Structure 1
């Protein structure tokens, strides 16, 4: 059962790593230590899946495989699999202000491949086959998929030669023999990804910190999941998407958002008793303590767009699996700690689904100041079974929002927080970000979570993502060793004050 707690949202990639990106190394353990000193019980991250074009953690080549960028390379140094000289270029990349994914891809994989070549001579190499057997439901196919992507220069599987697209058994059998070295390389990557993540998660749990993971509702059109199970998705006879995902026009986007993920064929999935979804949820709870399901409203109804359309304007609502899916999940996996990301346009049907599931929904403080005191995102209106944020990875930082907000919203924000916190309005005006965070901690929400950028009082230069844009996203990282004494003291005070 969820308890009244609080924590910080910070993705692994944004940690202060040494080799171009945050990873499972020293800085991750130091962050857990900071959480403990701050009396925080929650560390929320974004999806850990392997990323592709666009670098989005919500567009992964697999619903199960982890991101090799997060593997701690210092362990390979200690094992003698690589040398210091192998890391020179990655250290140079690390000097850049933002994550440079293009250079990272080239240089990281050089190091990872060398580590694998030397690992074959180690006694631990024998563990790979055991690991593959343990994850046999998905790992072998994933490793083959990635090996074939390399063979075909990274293009989408829909552009592979026909025999590979339609998974001709004889062709795949010969490919497995030809690509055995490459296949085992990807198994090696997943082995160390999971081994290191398990160690880090166990460290967090021993320090009374729970990990909140994130599961995207959709999978990438170019993924092993769509390649091996095309019948579960809305493809035509030529294995081209018929319908893709997105969301309709709203106040933030006149054309809506065109995500491009091929949509599920829920009728086929239901006929399997949702077995793929059961496997996916089960695996998530092997990795995380709590799971946030992205775009929860899409299980009630989803915006269906023709794959030929250039915008999301002409889409239409289609009915999803509804509570039936979550009843089956509960029947097969028991009661699970799930957060429903129920942001966006909520109909009575969506609200009914959320209530039937019993999962806590989400509220965003930034959305609370555009109307009046009845706004459901304001702390005084937030119900207990809710997770509240100053903002998420898709929003501006709170300071960025405040500085760009219309004057009447700024005034309302300060007046509201002053009254809610029983503070002088000048104190709120002098520090609106920390006043906003304190308001979340005071609220009735079961979880109160703040992006780390807000604790650092950063502006939109540190924003993680601007939805429906490609490039310049997901690349914010901490570039220095931070002095966090003031942050820790602030969090300790409000956590004790409001009983989190």
Structure 2
């Protein structure tokens, strides 16, 4: 029996509009689920759900914890509904079409203070204690790390006093005892967040919606993951990286990208039969139905940049664990519910590993028109076992690309491919055509950034790779625009045989 074709939208919860400094997991998220279902969609893909760090531009791909959730996404409405807070907070000053991360942190702190005081007064600790026991393997370390970051004014862990940097048992035990209440408050924030997430996930599941998550391949250097297991990473004895992750020059950057993440000490992971990876992914699959593996090619071979290098171009390719890691994941997760992000420099070993483990890759239409005939991203070359996107969080919007980035060759190729006259091809019409093209692709899955459905311009771009400011802030400003696009999306989805209301 032929597998069903599916489609959905890419939107991070931070992007919902509302009266506060950031979007959240409350009524707006459930309203978005309703919109997706009414439009015939069966997928909602989000960016990593992990906490963000203002010192790193609040990128969800540079998180201080791979296992924890981002408590900035806590819904004040849901906290109020459940009686954790007495009144809703006033609207955030200066709220608008962009996330105010500093304002969101201030709001989160106030919400958690009040919610935790309510919890202490209620005395009903059983659900929280059950959560704390079941998640202790990551939660305890996360709370300790956050406590120490605050104690040492945000300094990287490699600059902490040696007893804390090197995790002396006596120092950590004393801290745990001294700061028990503060640590409990931090754990309680995670408890509340994942309760709200489970409510949202259940709401979607009841309506046939599949939630897709994202796995950044490398944790941040200044993270609990690296601090708690430095032996798993290429570090010296003082916590400094011996080499850094990145990529060579490609579409996104003419000079390459120096990400700054530490590289793995792969031989140590293999000695432990990839237990760290399996636990990390099992945690994600408890939250999501399918997970995109960011920078998948780094599993087969990765770009290693020497510490102290002036730029990414000084790096070189090194062999990764490849199919040994993938085989371990297949044993742990036989259905292999992953999407391989296979963009950039893709070699034959990457393609072969994806084929062997039946992993869908990504086909991004904004990459399709620099040359069309043999271009793997061109619709006539799409693989059925793939996910087609108009663009990703790292691309400009389709309209923004057309109006500000597309070369003359790309403009010629696209208008020729569509049968349009160049002068008549506005940015808005091109965005709509690319949405139609993606939905019509033979790829089994189609995921559209909401910005492209709305025909938004470059101001709605989510991220500029290689930059650390001005990213991850976009919020849509009107439910009327979003819900007004529903009939078009529903019609195009049904025509393409992807609708949740289409049999077969």
Into which bin does the TM-score normalised by the smaller protein fall?
Answer: over 0.9
Following the alignment from structure 1 to structure 2, what is the Cα–Cα distance between the partners of residues 340 and 237? 34
Change (3 A) 1:93 1:125: farther
1:333 aligned residue = 333
Check if 1:180 corresponds to 2:180: yes
C-alpha separation in 2, matches of 1:464 and 1:172: 39
1:78 counterpart (63, 81, 87)? 81
TM (norm. structure 2) is 0.94
Q: Which residue of 2 aligns with 1:23?
A: 24
CA distance in 1, matches of 2:108, 2:190: 15
CA contact (8 A) 2:250 2:344 kept: no
Structure 1 residue ranges without an equivalent (≥5) = none
Whether contact under 8 Å (1:21, 1:94) holds in the other structure is no
Question: Which moved further from structure 2: 9-18 or 196-205?
Answer: 9-18
The secondary structure found in structure 1 opposite 2:244 is strand
The aligned residue for residue 221 of structure 1 is 221
Structure 1 residues 358 and 120: alpha-carbon distance in aligned structure 2, compared to 1, 3 A threshold: same
Equivalence for 1:446: 444
TM-score when normalising by structure 1:
0.95
Report SS of the residue matched to 1:46: coil
Residue 68 of structure 1, aligned match among 55, 71, 77: 71
Aligned length: 493
- Partner residue in 2 for 1:59: 62
Query: What do the CA deviations read for 1:281-315 (whole angstroms, capped 9, x no partner)?
Result: 11111000111000000000001111212311101
**Is 1:48–2:46 an aligned residue pair?**
no
1:245, distance to aligned residue in structure 2 (A): 0.5
Contact 1:2 1:337 in 2 (8 A): no
Q: Aligned pair in 2 of structure 1 residues 81, 266: CA closer, same or farther (>3 Å)? A: same
Gap runs ≥5 in structure 2: 499-504
Per-residue Cα deviation, 1:295-342 (whole angstroms, up to 9, x for no partner): 000000001111212311101111111011111111123213110001
Deviations 1:214-266 (A, max 9, x none): 01000011111111100000001222111110001235423210100011101
CA 1:441–1:336 in 2, change beyond 3 Å: closer, same or farther? same
Residue 61 of structure 1 deviates from its aligned partner by 1.1
- CA 158–460 in structure 1, closer or farther in 2 if over 3 Å, else same: same
C-alpha RMSD of the superposition: 1.8
Deviation at 1:3, TM superposition (A): 3.4
Is contact 2:371–2:413 with CA below 8 Å preserved after alignment? no
- Aligned counterparts of 1:478 and 1:192: Cα–Cα separation in 2: 26
Contact 2:74 2:108 in 1 (8 A): no
CA, structure 1 residues 441+480, in 2 after alignment: closer, same or farther (shift >3 Å)? closer
Residue in 2 that maps onto 1:434 = 432
Shift of 1:493: 1.2
Check conservation: 1:388, 1:449, Cα contact below 8 A: yes
Q: Which residue of 2 aligns with 1:478?
A: 476
Distance (whole Å) between structure 2 residues aligned to residue 363 and residue 69 of structure 1? 32
Distance of aligned partners of 1:492 and 1:480 in 2 relative to their CA distance in 1, 3 Å threshold: closer
Question: Following TM superposition, by how much is the alpha carbon of 1:427 offset from its aligned partner in structure 2, in angstroms?
Answer: 8.2
